[in-house]
Amino acid sequence: MENLKPPPHRWTFFRAGGLTQVLIRNGEDITHLSELDPKLWAILSAPTKGVRFDARTLELMDTDRDGRIRVPELLAAIQWTVALLKNPDDLLLDRPDLPLSAIRDDTLEGARLKSGAQRILLNLGKNSADTITLMDVADRAAIFAQTRFNGDGIVPPHTAEDPDTQSVIENILASVGGETDRSGKKGVSRAQVDAFFREAQAFSDWWALSEQDPAILPLGPATPAAVAAVRAVREKVEDFFARCRLAAFDPTARKPLNPSEADFAALAAEPLSLSKEAAARLPIALIEPDKPLPLSGAVNPCWAEPLKRLRDIAVIPLLGTEGETLSESEWQEINRRLAPFELWQAGKKGQAVEPLGLDRIRSILSGPTRERLMKLIEKDLELAVENSQIESVEKLIRYQANLNRLIHNFVNLSDFYNPYRDEIFRLGRLYMDGRACDLCLPVEDITRHSAMATSSRIFLAYCELSHAATGQKRIICAAVTAGFAETLWVGRNGIFIDRDGRDWEAMIVKVVESPISLKEAFWYPWKKIAEMIGDQINRLLSQKQEAAIRATTATVEQTAQTVGAPQPGGTAATPPKPTPPRLEGVALASSVAAIGIAVGLIGSAVGSLVSLISGLPLWKILLGIAGVILAVSGPSLLITYFRLRARDLAPVLNASGWAVNGRIRMTMKLSQEFTREATLPSGSRRRLTDPYADRRLGQNLFWIALALLVAILILWRRGWYNPYLTPALQVHRPPPPAASP
């Protein structure tokens, strides 16, 4: 019979924020994710850094160690986890612990993993536990603290049962070092054992050379001390005999080869000490032709003790003389007899084990300790397969607890659109300018990030964060989706609360401008009109003030010239004491004049407005006012509306390292979730009296009077006051045109 292919899995999709996404309903959906076309995934890859997610889980999933989680890696993690769980629906529970009964034991891998989990609990003394948690596998040292063998191939001293083997392990640790095993104790592996015995054998073979050649140790065990005594004075003795030979060659050289009076004068100028370097540099004894070196008596005091050791340890034992003096030929004989030892010493091997001593080293080499150690290591490695399941147990616990959340931030973005859950790419909340911005992402390179994120058409504030307690600094990008943009500028300070509850100082270092809200778009034209009127009034005031100052200056100069001209009597009139011009008065007069002009313009505008609407019914007046408001704010609102609808979070996420598979529209309702403006709590009382408010009585009275005047004029034009006015002041409306027959 022909094999029939199973029917394709039936998926359910949902729509949120204009984005169609797959709905994860149960474990079966998760099991079949490998069959879902990647074009329907929300995310194709995500960074392992800068996300609010369990870092160890991401580390286990990132098999190629490139710092990113891609679709194949997520699918591999899902496939591995589903194969080890009896019920894939357990992934939807987000459980922090793993019941042993949930692990499949009908497969080889599942049985091994379950056995490993049981051994962990057994080592921790939890024989009756039926669940295992991350706390159980987190402390590897606690798991293996009470066990002799743990499968890592490292044996601490307590692993051996006999004291001799324990002592050898301690010798190895002291000589060539060791490694820390899973119990947290120092032990030795096969590599350390092999290195120790190589060093020990090399040291033993090196000593065997001296035993085979008597010339190497002419004084037996005392030879090293004799060589040390010779080396201590070799340079000075060679110097002495060389000087004596020069003095024998030419007697005139004797005086300059000995210390001069000036040399001793230089020494006398400072505190004397036999350990002083200047005194030690003097010849070891007085220089005379063909003179033997005295080993006591008239010698440089700095070298008296080394010469005494040379005589007692080397000269007398090697030459058999009294040792009061040493000729040059005797000196050469001593060096000749000690040369084999120095040559042998230069080829020393096995220095790492030398502190143990030759007898202990040869005792270890001749005993069965090496074979015992290798057996212990092999026995420990027999548990390697079983105990290596610890990492697999940890991996399964973390995947069961965290995979569901990752899927809902990768396959779809349901956590992003769920007000009761937090997606993994948000870092915290930024408080600034009476607003709380929740959509904050990490940034490494501001220039690169802003260049990519500009196409999102979202107002972005790049902030530098600093933590005073730790000295840490970081950069974030905050999306601002409510309020006004004019109150956000470079240098403005705020506070950032991360997802761990730590507070950071925040300062804006760069902004990417874009429309924020319809409220801002509504008031923008009116603010521009107000700025234009203010600029015109300021310009008019400035012109009037400058004209008044120029006129006053010209008058003062003309008066000064008239007073200073010669009088008929031949003498110049004494000029009166000039009174400085009162610029304050001039400025005040020009200001009053400008205000008068402005009031006149306003009055004319009001009169024209009254004439226009006086004959209209109330609904037409209100409709006209609405039309004016729509004409001014309508274009700005319309343009901003389409710009706000075009906002897309995908470029911002892409700039932060996410490979987003499509658009992530920032709808009006969604934007309200990410930036909230300050509001008073419900039920609060509000006192509107401000004792420090600026007094605006005159300004308020002016606007009230103007409003009353407009109302009176409108009512007068509509004929409401006709019964109370004379015929000359009454307003008569023309009769309506007669209907045509």
DSSP 722: G
C-alpha distances out from residue 558 to 544, 545, 546, 555, 561, Å: 21, 20, 18, 5, 5
As given in the structure block, the two tokens for residue 316 are 């007398």
Q: What angle do CA 592, 597, 598 make, to 5 degrees?
A: 95
Q: Report which secondary-structure segment, H or E, holds 628.
A: helix 618-645
Q: What angle do CA 23, 24, 26 make, to 5 degrees?
A: 140
Q: Are 237 and 285 in contact (CB under 8 A)?
A: no
- 255 burial class (0-12, 13-18, 19+ CB within 10 angstroms)? exposed
pLDDT computed for residue 589 by the predictor:
45
| First-to-last C-alpha distance (Å) of the chain | 96
The contacts of residue 444 (CB under 8 Å, 6+ apart) are 475
Phi/psi of residue 692, nearest 5 degrees: -110, 10
Rounded to whole angstroms, the Cα distance separating 438 from 440 reads 6
As given in the structure block, the two tokens for residue 722 are 């006709």
As given in the structure block, the two tokens for residue 659 are 């490979």
Number of C-beta neighbours around residue 452 at 10 A: 15
For the residues of 398-413, what is the DSSP string, one character each? HHHHHHHHHHTTTT--
Rounded to whole angstroms, the Cα distance separating 202 from 374 reads 20
**For the chain, which ranges sit under pLDDT 70?**
1-4, 139-147, 272-276, 385-387, 560, 562-621, 688, 693-700, 717-718, 732-741
pLDDT computed for residue 279 by the predictor:
77
Rounded to whole angstroms, the Cα distance separating 30 from 374 reads 48
Rounded to whole angstroms, the Cα distance separating 189 from 179 reads 7
Tokens 């915290």 -> residue: 428
Q: Are 365 and 201 in contact (CB under 8 A)?
A: yes
Q: Are 655 and 452 in contact (CB under 8 A)?
A: yes
Q: Are 509 and 488 in contact (CB under 8 A)?
A: no
Helix segments in 507-617, DSSP class H: 518-564, 583-613
CA dihedral 468, 470, 473, 476 (to 10 degrees): -80
Q: Residue 163, Cα to own-chain centre: how many angstroms?
A: 51
Rounded to whole angstroms, the Cα distance separating 207 from 621 reads 119
Number of C-beta neighbours around residue 624 at 10 A: 14
Rounded to whole angstroms, the Cα distance separating 384 from 375 reads 15
Q: Residue 258, Cα to own-chain centre: how many angstroms?
A: 70
Q: Are 53 and 114 in contact (CB under 8 A)?
A: no
pLDDT computed for residue 115 by the predictor:
87
Q: Are 84 and 99 in contact (CB under 8 A)?
A: no
Rounded to whole angstroms, the Cα distance separating 306 from 275 reads 13
Domain coordinates in residue numbering, the chain: 1-151+387-424, 157-212+360-381, 219-349
Number of C-beta neighbours around residue 402 at 10 A: 22
Q: Report which secondary-structure segment, H or E, holds 310.
A: helix 304-310
pLDDT computed for residue 461 by the predictor:
96
CA-wise closest residue to 672 among 387, 419, 501: 419
Q: Report which secondary-structure segment, H or E, holds 235.
A: helix 223-249
Which residues are registered as beta bridge partners of 363? none
Q: Are 78 and 88 in contact (CB under 8 A)?
A: no
Instruction: Report the b/e string of 543-579 with b at 16+ CB within 10 A.
Output: ebbeebeeeeeeeeeeeeeeeeeeeeeeeeeeeeeee
Instruction: Report the b/e string of 197-236 with b at 16+ CB within 10 A.
Output: bebbbbbbebbeebeeeeebbbbeeebeebbebbebbeeb
Instruction: For the full predicted model, state whether its pTM sits above 0.75.
Output: no
Tokens 């010779």 -> residue: 230
Number of C-beta neighbours around residue 331 at 10 A: 22
Q: Are 334 and 320 in contact (CB under 8 A)?
A: no
Query: Per 3-state DSSP, what percentage of the chain is helix, strand, and coil (rounded to 5)?
Result: 55, 10, 35
pLDDT computed for residue 613 by the predictor:
57
CA-wise closest residue to 87 among 72, 98, 74: 98
